Amino acid sequence: MPARRGLRSAQHRPALREHPAAELFGHEKGAFTGATEARGGVFVRADGGTLFLDEIGATPPEVQPMLLRVLEDWEIRPLGGSRPRRLKVRLITATDANLETAVKEGRFSEALFERLAGYQIWLPPLRERRQDLGPMFLHFLREKLTQTNELGRVTTPAPGEGPWLSASVAGQILAGAWPGNARRLRNVAAQLVISSRGKNFAELDATVRALLVPTRTEDTASRPAMVRVTDDEIRRALVDCNYNQSAAAKALGINRSSLYERIQDNPLFLRAADQIGEDELLAAHALHAGDVAAMARELRCSPKPLKKRISDVLKTRK
């Protein structure tokens, strides 16, 4: 019986606000003012399953020793109760707070910290996982477009029109510092969809721009060459080289395999030739009079596979 109930869920029950432990451990009728009936806490509801406590670093000081006792013997006693109950719960906690600092400053119990730290998973902030930005942003964008019945904007563009999300707009979004991690990324995707409703192309209005935070200048001299190359530099190199990946890698001073890996990690860098619709392909061919380099710039596609693709399409249309 998996459960996702964190300490913050207590805010949905105003009568229990003065008793934060009640949400975790439950209470008997009459245990405190407002406790008009007995109620089991989240530990009881998760018995036999998994309990996820978000923002564990925000656990009130008076609750921390109570939580520690539960984790030591896996017995729970509701507020106002006298009989303990044995539990079998898999506990997972999460926080973006620095618990080591909180322990040193006396804001978090060292004993509780050590009890919780049996197995830790460290997830770096989003700004340090830039290869995840593209896939995550597309996920949030599709999620919001599905809610507004506009998913076709990113799956089936109108014939003869460019992509709804241009490389320029995507580049400006993904070049940010993302201090708010995934929450900020989701908010930007939602705001972009809302502010661009009724428009043929996604636009960065003032509201979206206000959510974007520029990256800070970093001293990158000591980092490996591929790590030093930013997403924005890759985009510029691809544009300057008409999306010729070999030429772009040379311009960036990195090997081609490293650039290929970065491109695979970020689908917004480059479009695969076989993913471009025939109508869009033929429209670009007509607009640029068959100039493959110009078509590559517009379609964000490598020239060599693009040339083969347009050749195959033209053969089938004869």
pLDDT at 146 over 70: yes
pLDDT at 185 over 80: yes
- Minimum mean pLDDT among 8-22, 128-142, 225-239, 252-266: which range? 8-22
Let me know: does 298 contact 284? Beta carbons within 8 Å: yes
CA 257 from centroid of its chain's CA atoms: 26
pLDDT at 111 over 90: yes
Q: Which helix (H) or strand (E) holds 92?
A: strand 90-93
pLDDT at 3 over 50: no
pLDDT in the model for residue 147: 92
In the DSSP assignment, the letter for residue 39 is B
pLDDT at 275 over 90: no
Q: Which whole number is the average pLDDT over 167-183?
A: 81
Distances (CA, A) of 191 to 148, 185, 248: 12, 10, 33
pLDDT in the model for residue 17: 44
Cα four-point dihedral sign 15, 21, 24, 25: negative
pLDDT at 13 over 80: no
pLDDT at 305 over 80: yes
pLDDT at 127 over 60: yes
Q: Which whole number is the average pLDDT over 215-221?
A: 43
Report residue 191's pLDDT band, with 50, 70 and 90 as the boundaries. very high
Phi and psi at residue 66, in whole multiples of 5°?
Answer: -70, -40
pLDDT in the model for residue 112: 93
Residue whose entry in the numeric block shows the structure tokens 């049996």: 118
Phi and psi at residue 213, in whole multiples of 5°?
Answer: -120, 120
pLDDT at 22 over 80: no
Q: Which residue has the higher pLDDT, 310 or 229?
A: 310
Q: Which whole number is the average pLDDT over 273-285?
A: 85
- Minimum mean pLDDT among 47-56, 69-78, 146-155, 156-165: which range? 156-165
Cα four-point dihedral sign 242, 243, 244, 247: positive
Mean pLDDT, the chain, integer? 79
Return the axis-axis angle of helices 181-195 and 133-147, rounded to nearest 10°. Answer: 50
List of domains in the chain: 3-116 (3.40.50.300), 125-216 (1.10.8.60)
CA 305 from centroid of its chain's CA atoms: 31
pLDDT at 110 over 90: yes
Q: Which helix (H) or strand (E) holds 271?
A: none
Q: Which residue has the higher pLDDT, 307 or 162?
A: 307
Give tens-digit pLDDT for 38-78. Answer: 677 788 888 899 999 999 998 989 889 989 988 988 888 77
pLDDT in the model for residue 19: 65
pLDDT at 224 over 90: no
pLDDT in the model for residue 163: 83
